[in-house]
Structure 1
Amino acid sequence: MLWSQTFAGLVAGPLSIREAEDVFHELCAAIDGMDDAGAIEQTLLGAAGWITRGGEARWVDEEGGRGAAVDGGPAGARRASCWEFPARRGDGRRRLLVVPGPDTPPSAYQRLRTLCVVADAALARSRAGCACRFTGPDAEGAGAGLGPIGLTPDCGESWQEEPASECPLQVQDGTFLKAVLPFAVSQARRHQEPLCLVCLAIDRLAGLRELLGEGTVERLAGRVGAKIVGIVRASDVVCRMEDNRFLIILPRACLPSGLAVARKICRAVEDAPELFPELGGLTVSAGVAEFPASAPSVYSLIDEADAAMERAQARGRNTAVAADGAYCPGALAC
């Protein structure tokens, strides 16, 4: 593979833009196929050195222990900027610390973040002990006694994700979504697993902006994003778009599970008046679509989730609605 040849120094001369893209996508696919935490960590270290063009990377556990440094990194050089990427494995939590080099390209941070998201999804799958497809609780009993978002595998063994608040996530932007969602959908297709997309909007946002100003809305959206990442799994992805909608990628979640997650978020926001002390309360509406049952492609998946969100607002807000799409032939059963 081109990525392994590149790391082994077997590729002479600099890579073209297209070759660099091929290496990155091969890396994503390779990490996604791994089930050994040590192999994933070593691959990420090598990837960090390559993506940052000589930057330094090392693993640090939560207690401050140090992992191995990247070979060839500027071990003595310390710069003010340091990137941190949280990761989880069976024997504890760790962080990948990366100090960019002087030639690190602007795209390096997002690429490393993408690789870490893919790695976390691979580790979650290996912890489940099988190629799990997740079954969701019914709509009324969503999440009862089933961990942070009420997902259980259909392989007969109970499995719970740890609360994301113990391993903080970040709210990503639209650029990150464009990089991750197509890859997540392609991996769902490859592994024959479902994937849900939640489109969530703050209710009456236009009126709030007109009444209180853009600065207040900006702070409000930030609080809502923090609330969402405290609910979803560490392997999920939360992105805030320019219009202050949130798109949430839920790998390996089928439609009933995605709907349960969305309703849990709606209840959590409604029950948290501190999110919006200016007026004493806030609600959100959400739409949920599943690949491949609701939509066969990335863009149609976004459209279906967005349309469902608009129906939720039309029905009175503060609720979550599933996409109308017909069940596709060959779609995965919950």
Structure 2
Amino acid sequence: MIVVAAGRKYIDIDAYASMIAYRELLRVTTDKEALAISTPKINQTVPPMLRSLKYALDKPVDTEKAKFVLLDVSNPDFFDVFVDPKRIIEVIDHHPGYEEYWRQNKAVKSQIEVIGAVCTQIYERFIEADKADLLDQELCKLLIAGILDNTINLRSKITTERDKKAYTELKKLGGLTDDFGREYFRACESEQIKDLKTAIIDDMKIEWVSLLLPEAIGQIILFNRDRITEELLNEVFANFDKWMINIISLEDGRSYLYCDSKETQSGLEKLFDTKSSHENLVVLNDFILRKEILKRAIEFNNIEYDRV
């Protein structure tokens, strides 16, 4: 049995969609039973319009004798709790840092590269296997959502030509239009605004990366940032002395970096070579994803970091 798995903290749409799609591909390209299993919570980037599709994750089973494929994660410290590192056969990830670690493990096939979404990598696996015919409309919807979410509608700087090509071809295969992307982002926001506090907490990254950044870094994508209030942020980060949140506003195409103090703001200003006229806020004139912020901080400090 092959079990497709991901990280242990939460599952976003890129992990969710790629796990399901790769499971479907493995079922027809190997002689093994293939399952897609995850134990952490699925966050609001997977709205009801996608959870109601015929494709879903499998229920947990005994994995004592299973082989594992890891998607959207390559740092062993963050693997789902049931994964035995000794029985991993493949790792596919788009976060840099552990390329050499897995390259040295000759028993594991690895593909770790900087690209917009793991869903793009999985789409390419279907093409390489000459199995594009398996990509029905519902699988296309899942993979497209993963690509759009992880590249902010193909507008973030990490978007590659491969991401754009995958999106275009998946639209054709699924008989979809750009309207699906707009519908997807609206559906995500509808879920998020029901409980913005939980939405932010469920997508929180807590890990030290750089002296320029706080340990707790939140992120949320909304059409209108005005839904995020100072009172809400104080509730979300009540247990953290140092924090920041990247509020990505689709309405005006900017990232709003709110933070706890002038000290944190100073670090952000240094990182982005800017001077803010606001208090505890740095406004960037373009979208930026949290993983891009972390990567920038790593490069700024000339240190290696394993997961962004």
With normalisation by structure 2, the TM-score equals 0.30
Which one has the largest radius of gyration?
1
With normalisation by structure 1, the TM-score equals 0.28
